[in-house]
Amino acid sequence: MKDKQDTRVVVGMSGGVDSSVAALLLKEQGYDVVGIFMKNWDDTDENGVCTATEDYDDVVRVCNQLDIPYFAVNFEKQYWDKVFTYFLDEYQAGRTPNPDVMCNKEIKFKAFLEHALSLGADYLATGHYAQVRENNGKYEMLRAVDDNKDQTYFLNQLTGDVLEKVMFPLGHMTKQEVREMAKEHDLVTAAKKDSTGICFIGERNFKEFISEYLPAQPGLMKTLDGVEKGRHEGLMYYTIGQRQGLGIGGSGEPWFVVGKNLDENVLYVGQGFHNDKLYSDALIASDVNWINHTPPQSFSCTAKFRYRQPDSDVTVTRMEDGNIHVAFHEAQRAITPGQAVVFYDGDVCLGGGTIDEVIKDENHLDYVG
């Protein structure tokens, strides 16, 4: 094991408080810390100022406060090819993609990791809320101590080989502690607002953004019994279980999206939050990744179907085609194709996959038909 001062850690710095504190912690621990800003998306704000320039400026100021070198690297092309293209394809297929999962898999912990290693780094660190633990020569990923901030859901496509070279300095801290530490050290990003939503869309209107890239095809809204309930603006704007933006008036319980038919360009709607059609008892997932070792052919564990959701008990069965069947011990509401399903054994994240099909009573639901 090298001395800390001879151990180079590249910190992926976004200009936010989390990665700032990650760099601060590593610096305090005595590592040879190098801050690197990643530019993945070219965008300007309403004043014509490049948003990345503003964030990079914060990286520069924090790194100067910490007295560590800082650089930038451009992955716009890789991001476009690997993340944004996937993002558009998924929407076009009527699904709800998770670009953060893809960005972690293809950019941050692949292209960026390779870049860090090419700079002589021993480790790559990020401000993610997750933990790495060595267990008999294997590198496992554990949930963050701050349950509310735990980001293992987005990191489910990482592997043990990658985790061996990764540090998550914030894994044992709460967000509040991170903020307080930033404030104590007077970091310029201490009070900076957390970024929200999908990184390349930022604060903008999602519909406006996506309509720049994909043509919207308005069509009919119907109940599953075929009663017309008005028009939709394009299937890609709607997610299973969504209530907002349907514009269906009248009496009774509110209306929700309960399905899509891509061929006929029809959006199915139904009444009531607990509408029967929103509930399912199993799913099929593809692009399955097991962080360390492939589990038994069938096993029980807990799972998350979306970020920040409490875990649910499931039984996972590996199928011959490499996909998995995930049976829920209790019916689940609004399982969304395109999102990730992530598995846990206690605090250990086992891996995850992409939700492809949703099943109820052994019938496939027309969530995306």
Q: 33: number of CA atoms within 13 Å, CB side?
A: 28
Residue 345 bridge partners (DSSP): 348
309 binds other proteins (CB under 8 A): no
43 binds other proteins (CB under 8 A): no
Please state whether beta strands 32-39 and 166-167 pair in parallel, antiparallel, or not at all (unpaired).
unpaired
Among 42, 45, 184, 276, binds other proteins (CB under 8 A): 42
CA dihedral sign of residues 149, 153, 154, 159:
positive
Binding residues for ATP: 12-19, 38, 127
Interatomic CA distance for residues 31 and 33, integer angstroms: 6
Q: Is 232 helix (H, G, I), strand (E, B) or coil?
A: strand
Q: Binding other proteins by CB under 8 A: which of 33, 34, 235, 269? A: 34
69 lies in the binding site for other proteins (CB under 8 A): yes
The interface region with other proteins, picked from 36-44, 175-183, 230-238, 331-339 by CB under 8 A, is 36-44
Hey, how many other C-beta atoms are within 10 angstroms of the C-beta on 76?
14
- Nearest residue to 216 via CA among 269, 279, 267: 267
Query: Is 142 strand, coil or helix?
Result: strand
Q: In the bound complex, what is the minimum distance in angstroms from residue 195's beta carbon to other proteins?
A: 16
Write down the least CB distance from residue 110 to other proteins, Å: 16
When binding is defined by CB under 8 A, the residue of 28, 57, 81, 203 that contacts other proteins is 57
Identity (one letter) of the amino acid at 258?
V
DSSP states of 316-354: EEE-TTS-EEEEEEEEEE---TTSEEEEEETTEEEEEEE
Which region, judged by CB under 8 A, interacts with other proteins, from 48-56, 167-175, 178-186, 229-237? 48-56
Query: Is 61 a binder of other proteins (CB under 8 A)?
Result: no
**Any idea what DSSP says for residue 178?**
H
Binding mask 244-283 for other proteins (x = CB under 8 A): ----------------------------------------
| Residue 301 annotated to the active site | no
Residues 6+ apart with CB under 8 A from 27: 33, 66, 67, 68
Q: According to the binding rule CB under 8 A, does residue 199 interact with other proteins? A: no
Nearest to 79 by CA among 71, 69, 87: 87
Q: Is 73 in the site for other proteins (CB under 8 A)?
A: yes
Q: Does 56 contact other proteins by CB under 8 A? A: yes
Tell the smallest beta-carbon distance from residue 70 to other proteins (Å): 10
Helix (H, G, I), strand (E, B) or coil at 38: strand
Two structure tokens written together for 349 = 């994240």
Number of residues that bind other proteins (CB under 8 A): 22
Q: Which of 105, 108, 115, 192: binder of other proteins (CB under 8 A)? A: 115
Catalytic site includes residue 103: yes
- Residue 313 touching other proteins (CB under 8 A): no
Minimum distance from residue 115 beta carbon to other proteins (Å) = 7
| Residues noted as catalytic | 103, 199
Residues within the interface to other proteins (CB under 8 A) = 34, 36-39, 42, 50, 52-53, 55-57, 69, 71-74, 76, 115, 118-120
